[in-house]
Structure 1
């Protein structure tokens, strides 16, 4: 927006008064009433402006030494007067002329240094400045009723004053009748009644530490401190003299004069105190910083008590320049929520703290545990310096931060001398990386290499996908995994029986997010990841296809019968190659939910019933042709005893649902079927004859009992 020139109103004894144009007046109201979300930023803005003015003086002094000929130290001074409710911020920078005041503080949305920056650019110089007085100056009116600016430019013999009030439509410029500045600018804020607490020296000290600790020029705060001094302890001296007098009298000699006894007292002394004597650690050469210094900075800055697991200190140079120092924490926060802003990344512009609210802009949410600082000289900020603009520079910074963060994590994972470090990291932040697999497609391969899972290879230790691939058998076709709620359940699952027999390793996915993450990986180093609970898992081995076809033909009558008996409960019934001990299992289609995912989604409070029905997919029952139960059931079907076979098929299916991780629709109906079957197996009171007819038997009391004789075949699993 082009700056509006102030209109001259009148000239009085103090000088000239100027009116803001209506457009500028509205903009002023916006700044005061709504633009800044935190009024405490006034100090940050004014100190930042002071730093810019000092930068400008130092730069001009390189080509015009006379500008700095007065030897005035380049510094910033902040002073408060609690009695009069004023705060004064002063710098020994370049200062301003009358025209500067008129053109820069008389308008809004024009930076006092913008033209200067353009001139430097044309001359191919390097001022490395942000801007002297822009909108940030007007943040003064967030806390002040009246603002007075006194300024002296080294090339101007006069000292000038600019004054204005909050809500006023005008400002004044006049020559200072009591000039006291050698060079620079002094801003005096006359605080509003509701801002008096900001005039407390300790409050200012806190704000300077929060926002301006790493400004490159010294910031001096006029503050009180307790200093010890030695004073005479009159009472102790008198007592000691009396003791000497008494002793001298007893010894019949002249008493000696006792030296004064002193004591330490503390007095309140007001003096200038440097608030930013720490050079930003991220601006130093990484080779010059020790691990102890990094650890100390991390603990102090982020209020941590454990050392970080790793750090990354780097500078990016080129068309976009910034410095950063990142840390991997040694533990997870007590309340870890990936949906909340973590405030772990502190953003600086030219060492001026801007905000810690930009985590989502600078890092993806799965890396919100990374702590650190980012300092850029040319990072674009909006008019308030609080809301980051999403543009090319931000995208470049974000990409670099993500890469460096993943490099740190990878370095931890490869530590041979301290393998427990990665276990510590994984226990704390493993879920974050799994979320990254889902959300960050660009870095999915790298993230996949950092994942860890339990497996059938080891009950206690976790394994990486790289280690798994390194152990794969020559004839193994895929990376196998089983999703369930515990390692114990995974080991007992019927899906892994044949895999275990052949020595194929199976990954155990025991957390709700695991299955979604692994599904998104799809393939790792040319090896597909295959869910052992899904259909079409073929572990029969090469050369066994013909035998499988023969078996399928042999049991076709049974599979057709079971499909008919179970109806819509299953899509089909097939002969399995993955079972050794269990009679049957229930698997799902390739693109439907597994039993584990179905269980997770059922437990969701806001689960969509229609979506669940769609995603559950169709169930497929697989039977083990080598199991005695299946052989017996096949004989029942072949013998035409389909009523009994139908009930057996129903019980087998519902039992398989349970052992496969699903739930049965009606537990009471299922229990009734099991009880009837158990009664028939152990009671002998209900049995069938060869032709299925019932027969009568006389009891001991003469009553007649009708029973069905039991026919026991060699294949019957309930044979006594």
Structure 2
């Protein structure tokens, strides 16, 4: 048996790094500026702890385009490298200087903001460059070095006459990447990836002032101290709003409120989430939260880190502990990710509870703009559901707002069915269900408004979590069980007359679509009322909104109940009408009127109804 060590040579790995390591070539600029930022922050840390006596000053990172020479320059004023360090960090692929630095100074460098981890970022330059040069001078006052490589395993390393501390990277842009010599393209990438880097980044100059007072000043494209890096106590409401517009310059509406995230155990995470005004279109809202790692933009696809229901919010999350792959493009499976998602869920719930408690009137005023997120969260996150009872609201059609416990208390004495269940009546469309709402209110019932696209799923969840509680839409058959009380009128028709009338109705009313039910209601109530079986309607709605697969059924039949008020003058007149044709015509007319009130009279039926009424006039 023989054993040995696999030898991965530069000849083998270089083409992989160059072509396949990074999924998007444009991130070379992010990686090189991240390296420059590390070099600067390392120097800052060393001066802070007294490791070196050099003057830190106010260093910047400069990006310059030499279009004629087809070169792109990235220049920093950080700690630079000696010749030996170039050999160590540049020529040994995947030896990360940031990792070594953090290990050496792990006790004091914990919060230094150093970015690099993989030691491969520099080589992303070869995705767009045919040749790369490094001109660097160390803070240690040793001779400067000049490294050159054309993308092959061969390189040159010689002395340089560079006098000032820091590193200059020169990219000789390849013919297939000349777009990276355009100012607009570089500016776009700097704003996208480096807008909040912790070291000032200069890209050209700009003119300030007017007339003779005009001056050329450095064009600093980033904000090194964004709001999320500060403590909440340092920020005003205006600061939060200004940062929102800095993140989203084309967003003109103000956010409703914000949640400042700040945790250092068991992981590091900072950020600010904003609740914008939301539409009912869930899909349109996503991918608005930006993920950063030590102020370096990573992605706006935060799936897995942010609970799904919160991806409809806007804002920033920054964590050095988020596990990314080598190219920082994809989230890696890691226990911290679940912890971060749980923390964010808890923090959002706590903030919502405090907003509700501190200013309930303001919270109620914003309810319609935030409810879709909260209702979605109740369905998708058990931990959020547990806390939601303290602040989720159920508005009535009259504009009153209840929590669920308040609603139970307000209705317990008058909205109980024959099985002892508390029945919560709700409307999904105030206009379409107006007559049913009016009838319920006449009897003293509260009717809440639940009009979100996920209402069927939500009430199913609420019923499963609350014993002896049931929801019934105000036009549903369950309402009959609620309305039939001991003090309701006794039918004017005898049992025999009621049976006869039902038989007459069933010869005219289509059996395949309607179930005739005889009910003794108030004489002032409408003679015919159409309701839909609550269970069937709810299953149909859930199927239409994507839940049908759970029940193995995709299509539900259109079935309705025709409630006939046996105390109405119209119902009693039907029995005494000996003109069969006239009687049947009246039944059809009453049925059409009931269908019209439910929005069920359409197409040919509606046309025929209108013509029939005109002819009768």
Q: TM-score range by the shorter chain?
A: 0.7 to 0.9
**1:376, 1:322 → 2: CA distance?**
4
**1:563, 1:613 → 2: CA distance?**
30
Asked if the contact 1:215/1:276 (under 8 Å) is kept, the reply is yes
Corresponding residue for residue 659 of structure 1:
597
**1:70, 1:211 → 2: CA distance?**
30
Corresponding residue for residue 535 of structure 2:
591
Corresponding residue for residue 297 of structure 2:
353
Aligned to 2:170, which of 181, 188, 202?
A: 188
Aligned to 1:555, which of 498, 520, 524?
A: 498
1:305-326 CA deviation, whole Å, 9 max, x = no partner? 4543322223112121111112
**1:276, 1:510 → 2: CA distance?**
43
Return closer, same or farther for 1:586/1:491 CA change in 2, 3 Å cut-off.
Answer: closer
Q: How does 1:112-151 map to 2 (within 5 A)?
A: 112-118=97-103, 126=110, 129-131=114-116, 134-151=119-136
- For the residue of structure 1 that corresponds to 2:330, the secondary structure is coil
Q: CA deviation at 1:559?
A: 3.1
Return closer, same or farther for 1:548/1:521 CA change in 2, 3 Å cut-off.
Answer: farther
Aligned to 2:149, which of 159, 164, 169?
A: 164
Corresponding residue for residue 158 of structure 2:
175
Q: CA deviation at 1:283?
A: 1.6
**2:496, 2:380 → 1: CA distance?**
46
**2:318, 2:263 → 1: CA distance?**
11
Asked if the contact 1:469/1:479 (under 8 Å) is kept, the reply is no
1:594-623 CA deviation, whole Å, 9 max, x = no partner? 79969x97xx9xx99xx9994235332222
- For the residue of structure 2 that corresponds to 1:395, the secondary structure is helix
Asked if the contact 1:85/1:199 (under 8 Å) is kept, the reply is yes
1:676-720 CA deviation, whole Å, 9 max, x = no partner? 9x97xx9xxxxxxxxxxxxxxxxxxxxxxxxxxxxxxxxxxxxxx
Asked if the contact 1:74/1:92 (under 8 Å) is kept, the reply is no
Q: CA deviation at 1:372?
A: 1.5
Q: Say whether residues 1:633 and 2:579 are aligned partners.
A: no
Which consecutive unaligned segments of at least 5 residues does structure 2 have? 417-421
- For the residue of structure 1 that corresponds to 2:245, the secondary structure is helix
Q: Across the two proteins, how many residue pairs are aligned to each other?
A: 596
Asked if the contact 1:484/1:596 (under 8 Å) is kept, the reply is no
Return closer, same or farther for 1:405/1:64 CA change in 2, 3 Å cut-off.
Answer: closer
Which consecutive unaligned segments of at least 5 residues does structure 1 have? 8-19, 230-262, 683-720
Q: How does 1:318-329 map to 2 (within 5 A)?
A: 318-329=265-276
Return closer, same or farther for 1:522/1:277 CA change in 2, 3 Å cut-off.
Answer: closer
Corresponding residue for residue 216 of structure 1:
198
Corresponding residue for residue 419 of structure 2:
none
Return closer, same or farther for 1:108/1:568 CA change in 2, 3 Å cut-off.
Answer: farther
Asked if the contact 2:17/2:123 (under 8 Å) is kept, the reply is no
- For the residue of structure 2 that corresponds to 1:573, the secondary structure is strand
**1:548, 1:296 → 2: CA distance?**
67
Asked if the contact 1:576/1:623 (under 8 Å) is kept, the reply is yes
Q: CA deviation at 1:79?
A: 4.6
Corresponding residue for residue 70 of structure 1:
54
Q: How does 1:96-115 map to 2 (within 5 A)?
A: 96=81, 98=83, 100-106=85-91, 108-115=93-100
Asked if the contact 2:82/2:142 (under 8 Å) is kept, the reply is no
Asked if the contact 2:427/2:450 (under 8 Å) is kept, the reply is yes
Asked if the contact 1:565/1:646 (under 8 Å) is kept, the reply is yes
90-99 vs 138-147, which deviates more?
Answer: 90-99
Corresponding residue for residue 569 of structure 1:
512
**1:372, 1:500 → 2: CA distance?**
43
Asked if the contact 2:521/2:567 (under 8 Å) is kept, the reply is no
Asked if the contact 2:198/2:223 (under 8 Å) is kept, the reply is no
Q: CA deviation at 1:625?
A: 1.9
Asked if the contact 2:394/2:450 (under 8 Å) is kept, the reply is no
Q: CA deviation at 1:515?
A: 5.3
Return closer, same or farther for 1:647/1:441 CA change in 2, 3 Å cut-off.
Answer: farther
- For the residue of structure 2 that corresponds to 1:592, the secondary structure is helix
Return closer, same or farther for 1:619/1:318 CA change in 2, 3 Å cut-off.
Answer: same
Corresponding residue for residue 389 of structure 1:
332
- For the residue of structure 2 that corresponds to 1:106, the secondary structure is coil
1:263-303 CA deviation, whole Å, 9 max, x = no partner? 93757x5x766655652222222112222222222223322
- For the residue of structure 2 that corresponds to 1:211, the secondary structure is helix
Q: Say whether residues 1:534 and 2:476 are aligned partners.
A: yes
- For the residue of structure 2 that corresponds to 1:568, the secondary structure is coil
Q: CA deviation at 1:97?
A: 5.1
**1:93, 1:512 → 2: CA distance?**
55
- For the residue of structure 1 that corresponds to 2:537, the secondary structure is coil
- For the residue of structure 1 that corresponds to 2:290, the secondary structure is strand
Return closer, same or farther for 1:575/1:225 CA change in 2, 3 Å cut-off.
Answer: closer
47-56 vs 315-324, which deviates more?
Answer: 47-56
- For the residue of structure 2 that corresponds to 1:190, the secondary structure is strand
Q: Say whether residues 1:481 and 2:425 are aligned partners.
A: yes
Q: How does 1:278-317 map to 2 (within 5 A)?
A: 278-303=224-249, 304-317=251-264
Q: Say whether residues 1:28 and 2:14 are aligned partners.
A: no
Return closer, same or farther for 1:632/1:673 CA change in 2, 3 Å cut-off.
Answer: farther
**2:539, 2:574 → 1: CA distance?**
26
**1:181, 1:4 → 2: CA distance?**
42
Return closer, same or farther for 1:669/1:372 CA change in 2, 3 Å cut-off.
Answer: closer
**1:155, 1:111 → 2: CA distance?**
20
Return closer, same or farther for 1:667/1:273 CA change in 2, 3 Å cut-off.
Answer: closer
Q: CA deviation at 1:350?
A: 0.9
Return closer, same or farther for 1:359/1:125 CA change in 2, 3 Å cut-off.
Answer: closer
Asked if the contact 1:94/1:153 (under 8 Å) is kept, the reply is yes
Aligned to 1:370, which of 309, 313, 319?
A: 313
Asked if the contact 1:90/1:185 (under 8 Å) is kept, the reply is yes
- For the residue of structure 2 that corresponds to 1:298, the secondary structure is helix
Asked if the contact 2:424/2:472 (under 8 Å) is kept, the reply is yes
Asked if the contact 1:595/1:662 (under 8 Å) is kept, the reply is no
Asked if the contact 2:514/2:561 (under 8 Å) is kept, the reply is yes
Q: CA deviation at 1:349?
A: 0.9
Corresponding residue for residue 435 of structure 2:
492
Return closer, same or farther for 1:536/1:629 CA change in 2, 3 Å cut-off.
Answer: same
Asked if the contact 1:5/1:106 (under 8 Å) is kept, the reply is no
Corresponding residue for residue 16 of structure 1:
none
Asked if the contact 1:106/1:171 (under 8 Å) is kept, the reply is no
Q: How does 1:402-551 map to 2 (within 5 A)?
A: 402-409=345-352, 416=359, 419=362, 422-423=364-365, 425-436=366-377, 439-440=380-381, 442-444=383-385, 449-451=391-393, 453-455=395-397, 458=398, 461=399, 463-466=401-404, 468-472=407-411, 474-477=413-416, 478-483=422-427, 485=429, 487-493=430-436, 497=439, 499-509=440-450, 514=455, 517-522=458-463, 527-537=469-479, 538-540=481-483, 543=486
Corresponding residue for residue 696 of structure 1:
none
**1:623, 1:120 → 2: CA distance?**
84
Asked if the contact 2:394/2:403 (under 8 Å) is kept, the reply is yes
Return closer, same or farther for 1:288/1:672 CA change in 2, 3 Å cut-off.
Answer: closer
Q: CA deviation at 1:629?
A: 2.3
